[in-house]
A and B are shown apart, each in its own frame.
Chain A
Amino acid sequence: MLIADAGRFALQAIISHRLRSFLTLLGIAVGIAAVILLTSIGEGVHQFVLKEFTQFGTNVIGVSPGKVKTGGQPPTGIPTTARLLTMEDAESLKQLPHVTGSTPTVWGNSEVENNGRLRRTTIYGVDADFVRVFSAKVQIGSFLPREGAGDSRAFVVLGSKLRKELFGTENPLGARVRIGGLHFRVIGVLAPKGQFLGIDLDDTAYIPAARALELYNREGLMEIQVLYTEGTSSATVASAVKQRLALRHGHEDFTITTQEDMLKTLSNILNILTMAVGALGGISLLVGSVGIVTIMTISVTERTNEIGLLVALGARQRTILGLFLSESVILAVLGGVLGLLLGIGLAQFLHLLMPNFPVHTPWSFALIAVVVSGVIGLLAGVLPAISASRLDPIDALRAE
């Protein structure tokens, strides 16, 4: 029997029970739609989160002191042999090939005061490279000047929100503010950057790292951020950074985290999440496939006579198996396609209702959905089709 004929024969059988077939394929459709919708949301969240993380640029490498697998301080009482990260370390990294900038970072919380207006906020100690490393923009004035490590002046650059809180509409440039116990002169304001995972990036103040060390009474930096040219492999730069610092420190007593590694890890976690919600939707798909098994079993019973006739007309067992299998596969694939449209439609509808809610349906999901529904049809149809092909033709012909 030609494949096209088998397909047509199966389709005719499906069409002859319009309502019943529709309800059966609806079961698969709902399952596929659920999987598509849930994974679309998962994928949307995935992309949203990654975008949040990549807004600072992806070609950044972080160096933090101490060779530790996990974060946190070494246990107290045990003297650490780890050398601190210094301003000089940061300075020396700037010289490496492919490195376009590096900023020391120290942060803490302090009260910032201007003319009696007080605000507790996050203070970052950085250097001139900060704007490039974190793709920040200066709104008015200028950012911290490039200076030798020893003699950084007491300048401060304000985040846009902090500026508004402290100065309102006044021009802050040239004003003197007090941070902790020290005095700083405002030389610039950064353009708004918005929120990052709930942290307000504009409610901050940036001071030279040396000043921050002084302010927080620290000896070493908390981190050095290294920016390298786009297109260079992060591994190359990371190993150069490692070599240089190891040379300076005598051994490897620091930890390098590339943005790329971090994003990869994050992406993996989010993928697992997407798969988990997809699996939830898969449960309804399972219910849908049980529907196919049921309807195919009923169909074989109802058409016992027809099966006997087909055998009498010279159909092989394999042909009969194929006919019933194609029927369940067609049923499931039709359901899959309907479910796909339903799922994408719902996802788009959600997107229309809540434009900020991240939904994204990758084409690969659509393809997978149709293939999966086909496989479901095959699996669901196997048992009924086998029982059809094994019917005794005489019994089948005599059946009422």
Chain B
Amino acid sequence: MSDERLISPDISPLTSSLISLGGINRTFYLGDSQVHALRDVNLTITSGEYIAVMGPSGSGKSTLLNLLGLLDRPDEGSYKLEGRDVTTLDADELAAVRSERIGFIFQSFHLVPRLTAAANIELPLVLSGFPKADRAKRVSQALQEYGLTDRAHHRPNELSGGQRQRVAIARATILRPAVLLADEPTGNLDRSTGEEVVKLLEKLNAQGMTLIVVTHDQALGARARRQIRMEDGGVVSDIVSAK
């Protein structure tokens, strides 16, 4: 860890920033008690970065990821995605941004159980109204890329954990999003399968996709060029290692 340096949160506006969060706060109210899940978070993320978000349980990692993925809104602060203020968008506009610019990968895969692997991968295309002929080509290409061609017509319960996560990754990336948000993508996988999945994600990052991974796994976190550490809702360290 010799060539580490702290980068300032206020990066020069000239840099092409993909994401810029300023003074983000998010508080959950549970009855009388309130949980300050995010406190004054400032982050600037450049296109193509590979970021690991780490920290103890309950520190706000998932909350941050949901916010970045436009599934949640901050109570306070500004969020610019590709230069556009997304805190003021209405529900339909948010849905469109999620569909086109953001890919989600979950710890528990979230595949639709009654749909085949191919149909699960096809889902984002179907939701955005792609004509049927275009979809088939894209799906079969994705199946091939992720080595799932012979599993195309299997349902999730007939797939291994690693295969399920590959289906989920294929689904998240079929529309070529700008940002891939993965919340503990290897949490439900054994070490070697997890390794395989991480390699896939890193390959996508190498192709230019911005990758943000939440993980508890130190070794996994260490592979990312930039590591963000959270505690109690705040970012306590933000380190870029030059490799």
Given A305-B110, A397-B106, check contact A314 B124 (CB 8 Å): yes
Binding-face segment, A5-13, A121-129, A214-222, A332-340:
A5-13
Q: Using C-beta atoms within 8 Å of the partner chain, give the interface range for chain A.
A: 20 to 34
Are B104 and A313 interface neighbours, CB within 8 A? yes
- Which residue of chain B is the closest to A303 with respect to CB atoms? B112
Whether, in the assembled complex, A264 has its beta carbon less than 8 Å from a beta carbon of chain B, the answer is no
- Which residue of chain A is the closest to B122 with respect to CB atoms? A5
Which listed residue (A1, A2, A12, A317) contacts B114, Cβ 8 A? A12
Q: List 11 A-B contacts (CB under 8 A).
A: A5-B126, A5-B132, A305-B110, A309-B112, A313-B127, A314-B95, A317-B92, A319-B127, A393-B71, A394-B66, A394-B71
Cross-chain pair count, CB within 8 angstroms: 68
Are A2 and B129 interface neighbours, CB within 8 A? yes
Q: How distant is the Cα of A15 from the Cα of B100 in the complex, in angstroms? A: 30
- Which residue of chain B is the closest to A309 with respect to CB atoms? B110
Question: Interface digits, A123-146 against B, CB 8 Å rule (1 contact, 0 not)?
Answer: 000000000000000000000000
Question: Interface digits, A305-343 against B, CB 8 Å rule (1 contact, 0 not)?
Answer: 110111111111111000000000000000000000000
- Which residue of chain B is the closest to A398 with respect to CB atoms? B62
**Among A311, A314, A397, which residue has the most Cβ atoms of chain B within 10 A?**
A314
Q: How distant is the Cα of A121 from the Cα of B131 in the complex, in angstroms? A: 82
Whether, in the assembled complex, B195 has its beta carbon less than 8 Å from a beta carbon of chain A, the answer is no
Question: Interface digits, A1-34 against B, CB 8 Å rule (1 contact, 0 not)?
Answer: 1100100010011011000000000000000000
Give chain A's interface residues, CB within 8 Å of chain B: 1-2, 5, 9, 12-13, 15-16, 305-306, 308-319, 393-394, 397
Are B112 and A306 interface neighbours, CB within 8 A? yes
Which listed residue (A306, A312, A316) contacts B91, Cβ 8 A? A316
Are B71 and A310 interface neighbours, CB within 8 A? no
A394 contacts across to B, CB distance below 8 A: 66, 71-72
Whether, in the assembled complex, B115 has its beta carbon less than 8 Å from a beta carbon of chain A, the answer is yes
Would you list which residues of chain B between 190 and 228 have a CB under 8 Å from chain A?
Answer: none
Which listed residue (B95, B100, B115) contacts A316, Cβ 8 A? B95
Question: Interface digits, B90-117 against A, CB 8 Å rule (1 contact, 0 not)?
Answer: 0110011111101010100010111100
- Which residue of chain A is the closest to B168 with respect to CB atoms? A309
Would you list which residues of chain B between 120 and 154 have a CB under 8 Å from chain A?
Answer: 123-124, 126-129, 131-132
